[in-house]
Structure 1
Amino acid sequence: MENTSKTNEKTIEILDRLITILDDGKLGYTNAAEDVDCNQAKTDFLGYARERALFIVELQDEINKLGKSTNTAGGPMGAIHRAWIDIKSLVTGGDKEAIINACITGEKAAIEEYEDALNEEHLNTSLRPLILKQLASIKTTLAKIEMEKKTLT
């Protein structure tokens, strides 16, 4: 019983970290949508923000199943990233390329956090498919954003 309790506790910590990076991404994309001048980019960024919100709910549901209530506050690195998007857009006047670069940075951080989670020995194995599904979507989003960047040059 103690082993299961310890595994659940560690799994909750892992999921909390993922929720933090997702919340940071959701807020970052919302800020990016507000700051960019291109209507299509606004639509895309808001879609990515909605997807991150859905991912958060999915992970919160899993934490709740493990017996812990959930909340999202965003992490300190995410706060730095969001501030960087805000500052970058102020300096660049909504420059789409600068905002896209900030989003690429955020997506790469999310991918790293997800890969770290998958490598954790204490991760409840039943959660691997959900985490892999979310990771695949984040990688797809990164590829779309990188493709968008290429069209700017």
Structure 2
Amino acid sequence: MMNNEQAIDKLQYLLGTLRDGEKGFSQAADHADAANLKTLFAERSQQRGMLAGEVVTKIQSMGGDADKGGSVGAALHRTWLNVRDAVTGKGDYAVVAEAERGEDVAIQNYQDVLNETELPADLRSFVDGQYAQVKASHDQIRDLKHSMKPD
């Protein structure tokens, strides 16, 4: 079984992923032209903020410091790079494609944690519940991208 510190470390990793997504979606909302995309991305940004809040509460309940930042190399697993650089002048398809790319990494990061065989059962169900929301978001954005024509 992983110890408390290792478990907190995994949550820090997800917290980094969620905060990155919160910021990334907020930037995507700024750069999207279509009103429906602006709304979708703003909602996703709020969702990630809410999920991040749940993780912070969980970390604190385990005696950890949520603001310490994860040591699990979250920087290596950035879900969102620089949205502005990636999409400037490229139109909504590029913004949606960047959002999908960010979601691909977010899903991978959650799967990395869920693949830990030593993850305590209560933590697994917590992470699993969040993963379901992130996965649903990813699938919606993927389908949206497939429904659009590259600019």
What TM bracket, shorter-length normalisation? 0.7 to 0.9
Please, which of 5, 8, 12 is the counterpart of residue 8 of structure 2? 12
Structure 2 CA distance for aligned equivalents of residues 78 and 126 of structure 1: 25
What amino acid is the match of 1:90? T
Q: Could you tell me the TM-score, scaled by structure 1's length?
A: 0.86
Residue 118 (1) aligns with residue 114 (2): yes
Answer whether contact 2:79 2:106 (CA < 8 A) is retained: no
| 1:102-127 deviation per Cα after TM superposition (whole angstroms, max 9, x unaligned) | 11111110111111101113422211
Aligned length: 146
Structure 1 residues 78 and 112: alpha-carbon distance in aligned structure 2, compared to 1, 3 A threshold: closer
Q: What does residue 134 of structure 1 align with?
A: 130
Question: Structure 2: where are the runs of 5+ without partners?
Answer: none
Match of 2:61 among 62, 65, 71: 65
Q: Structure 1 stretches of 5 or more lacking a match?
A: none
Q: Distance in 1 between matches of 2:18 and 2:146?
A: 25
1:76 counterpart = 2:72: no
Aligned to 1:33: 29
Does the Cα contact within 8 Å between 1:104 and 1:146 map onto a contact in 2?
Answer: yes
Q: Cα–Cα, structure 1 residues 72 and 120, in superposed 2: closer, same or farther, change >3 Å?
A: same
- How much has 1:134 moved relative to structure 2? 1.0
Q: Percent identity?
A: 26
Equivalent-residue separation in structure 2 for 1:146 and 1:48 (angstroms)? 14
| Residue range with higher mean Cα deviation, 137-146 or 26-35 | 137-146
